[in-house]
Structure 1
Amino acid sequence: MKNSSIAARRKVAGISAGFLLGGLTVGIIGAPSAAAAPDCSPAGVNATVSSVQGAAEQYLAAHPDTNQVVTAAYGQPRPEAESSLRGYFTAHPQQYYDLRGILAPIGDTERQCNVKALPPLLESAYQEFMAG
């Protein structure tokens, strides 16, 4: 039971990398310096996504109200989830900016390496979320 809870939480965190729809999330993981060449190998891209997922999990664990909204959105139809997330993050802009910053390394890696780091459904939601 505990393993399924952990797996579900990881899935939610991964989805927050893309399913935080409606546009909302910035700041805790520092981006690599402009002089550093990104690791564009599949392992490097996966490491970035894993790192972001871990940071998102930690953030959500430390912010139960945000975690509750994100977790609930995961089980909702996309339009309803988008509306719910947009409403929450509009009312809580700091959480949006915090999460957006946490998720930013995924977009940085995608741009620098010219790859898509997420599955199509998550990629679409990620782009929508990051656009605000």
Structure 2
Amino acid sequence: MKPTPIRRTALRLTGVTAAAFATALLTPSAATADPPPGCTAADMANVATGVAASTSGYLYAHPDVNEFYTGLRNRPDDEVPEAVRSFFADNPQAHSDLLGLRQPLTDFRARCGLPQPERPLLDQ
């Protein structure tokens, strides 16, 4: 079964998060020192879980945004980035809201010295 854009995004977030955390843990300076307080894998999972729960609640409360993201699964992969850009151009508040919802994960990464994703929202 081919992953949907939503599933790919979730897998990408999980994979990037795990890879970034593993990379940070394996750097020479990190290998000899404990992570900063509140920067463990469990802490990251906790923050990511909160972001996911908030995003879920937002999508249920905003059926138009939920419908848009759900509809991406029926589009060819090469059309998804432009569809997302177009949607956010037409719906700047949704874009702002979703960036705000993921801010705790952005803050966690900054505080813990982990790299930020290149595009915080799907093909932004």
User: Please, which runs of 5 or more residues in structure 2 have no aligned partner?
Assistant: 15-35
Say if 1:14 and 1:53, in contact at 8 Å, map to a contact too: no
Instruction: For 1:126, give the aligned amino acid.
Output: P
- Whether the 8 Å contact between 2:99 and 2:121 is mirrored in structure 1 is no
Aligned to 1:83: 82
Partners of 2:40 and 2:62 in 1: how far apart?
33
Q: Assess, with a 3 A threshold, how the Cα gap between structure 1 residues 115 and 127 changes in structure 2: closer, same or farther.
A: farther
Greater helix share, 1 or 2?
Answer: 2
Deviation at 1:116, TM superposition (A): 5.3
Structure 2 partner of 1:28: none
> In the TM superposition, what are the counterparts of 1:1-132 in structure 2 within 5 Å?
11=7, 14=10, 39-74=38-73, 76-115=75-114, 123-126=117-120
Q: TM-score, normalised by structure 1?
A: 0.59
Question: Which deviates more, 68-77 or 104-113?
Answer: 68-77
**8 Å contact 2:47–2:105 — kept in the other structure?**
yes
TM-score (norm 2): 0.62
* Partner SS for 2:103: helix
Structure having the higher Rg = 2
Compute the displacement of 1:85 (Å). Answer: 1.0
Check the 8 A contact 1:13/1:56 in 2, yes or no: no
Deviation for aligned residue 1:125 = 4.0
Tell me the distance in 1 between the aligned counterparts of 2:8 and 2:66: 9
Among the aligned pairs, what percent are the same residue? 24
Report 1 or 2 for greater relative contact order, CA contacts < 8 Å, sequence distance ≥ 6.
Answer: 1
Q: What is the distance in 1 between the residues matched to 2:111 and 2:79?
A: 33
Q: Secondary structure at the match of 2:120?
A: helix
Could you tell me which runs of 5 or more consecutive residues in structure 1 were left unpaired when the two chains were aligned. Answer: 1-7, 19-36, 118-122
For the residues of structure 1 that align with 2:60 and 2:8, how far apart are their CA atoms?
A: 11
Matched length: 98
